[in-house]
Amino acid sequence: MNLNGTITPVSIDSLKSWLIDWLAGALAMDRRQIEPSQPFLSYGLDSVHAMSIVGDLEAKFGERLSPTLAWDYPSVEAMAEYLAERLGTRTAAAPTAPRPQPEPHASQAEIESLLAGIDHLDDQEVDRLLARFLSEPS
C-alpha cells in the first residue's frame, strides 16, 4: 500500500524476489543459492521461520494470511503464485487464461518437522500466534 492508501500492484516476479530476499536474510544464505521451485524445507526453514514469514507478509500487504501458508505452498514459486492470485496481482507477461491455484501438498512428515521447532518460540510469540489463529474465521 502506498502512503496515500492506494494498493500498489505486485507482480509474481516481485513476490518471488521478495520471498527469496526474505529467505536469504532469515537463513543467512546468498540469495543466488535459492531455487524458487525447491521446497522451503530443503533450505532448513523451520516452524519459527514459517510463522515469521507469514507475519512479515501480513505486515507488508495488510492482509491476514493462513498460519499454515508455508506448509500449504512450500516453495517460493508456489507461495508467490498463490499470493499473486489472492492479492489480485498479475505480471505483465502473464497468460490471459487463469492459472490454476496450487494445491496444498505438504506431507505429514513435513508438517511435523516444522512443528518440532515450536519449542524454540518464547511464550509471548506462542500466545500471539495462538490468538491470531483462534481469531481467524473457520
Q: Taking the chain, what is the end-to-end CA distance rounded to the nearest angstrom? A: 27
Q: pTM of the entire structure?
A: 0.60
Q: How many structural domains are present in the chain?
A: 1
Enter the C-alpha cell of residue 85. Answer: 492470485
65-74 mean pLDDT: 92
Q: Measuring CA to CA, which residue among 39, 21, 38 is closest to residue 30?
A: 21
Q: What pLDDT sits at residue 24?
A: 94
Residue 114, pLDDT score: 59
Is 39 in a helix, a strand, or coil?
strand
Query: What is the C-alpha separation between 64 and 57, in angstroms, rounded?
Result: 9
Residue 115 or 58, more confident: 58
Please, what is the average pLDDT of the chain?
77
- On whether residue 76 sits in a domain, the answer given is yes
CATH of the domain at 29: 1.10.1200.10
* Cα gap 43→38, rounded to integer Å: 8
Domain encompassing residue 76: 12-93+103-135
Q: Look at residue 4 in the predicted model and tell me its pLDDT.
A: 39
